[in-house]
């Protein structure tokens, strides 16, 4: 048996479907914007981290991988995000001082590869 829908019921049904589709589309747009911002931040952070890696490689002649490990170590011991440690190190090229916790941990981490080389 077919169900008969009145014109008023049909309009309400179309509005409900349209509202649900609009809500789903709005949710997707918000999610895409969040993802887009995260990717922008990741790209910006990546450049700064690479610059800091190069600085570490120049300070303590070491490989890129070792410089990465050193920055991660400093980040973990200071409980500061890696991108923030990298930004602070890069900022020293603009006459900004390195925050003391980062300076202390960086010194400690820079000494460790040299001690390992002596063995």
- Mean pLDDT, 10 residues at a time, the chain of 119 residues: 64 69 76 86 89 94 93 96 96 93 92 56
What pLDDT is recorded for position 49? 96
What pLDDT is recorded for position 14? 63
What pLDDT is recorded for position 10? 64
SS3 13: helix
What pLDDT is recorded for position 63? 93
Largest Cα–Cα separation, the chain: 89
What pLDDT is recorded for position 69? 95
What pLDDT is recorded for position 26? 78
What pLDDT is recorded for position 100? 95
What pLDDT is recorded for position 47? 92
Tokens of 115: 């001690």
Which residue pairs from 98-104 have beta carbons closer than 8 angstroms and sit at least 24 positions apart in sequence? 102/74, 102/78
pTM: 0.65
Tokens of 24: 């789903």
Residue 35: count of CB within 10 angstroms of its CB: 10
């Amino acid at each position: 048996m077919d169900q008969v829908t009145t014109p008023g019921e049909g309009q309400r049904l179309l509005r409900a479907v349209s509202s649900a589709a609009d809500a789903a589309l709005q949710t997707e747009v918000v999610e895409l914007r969040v993802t887009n911002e995260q990717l922008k931040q990741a790209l910006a952070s990546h450049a700064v981290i690479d610059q800091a890696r190069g600085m570490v490689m120049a300070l303590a002649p070491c490989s890129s991988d070792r410089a990465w490990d050193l920055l991660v170590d400093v980040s973990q011991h200071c409980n500061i995000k890696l991108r923030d440690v990298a930004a602070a190190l890069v900022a020293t090229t603009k006459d900004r001082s390195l925050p003391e916790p980062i300076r202390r941990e960086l010194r400690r981490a820079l000494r460790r590869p040299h001690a390992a080389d002596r063995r």
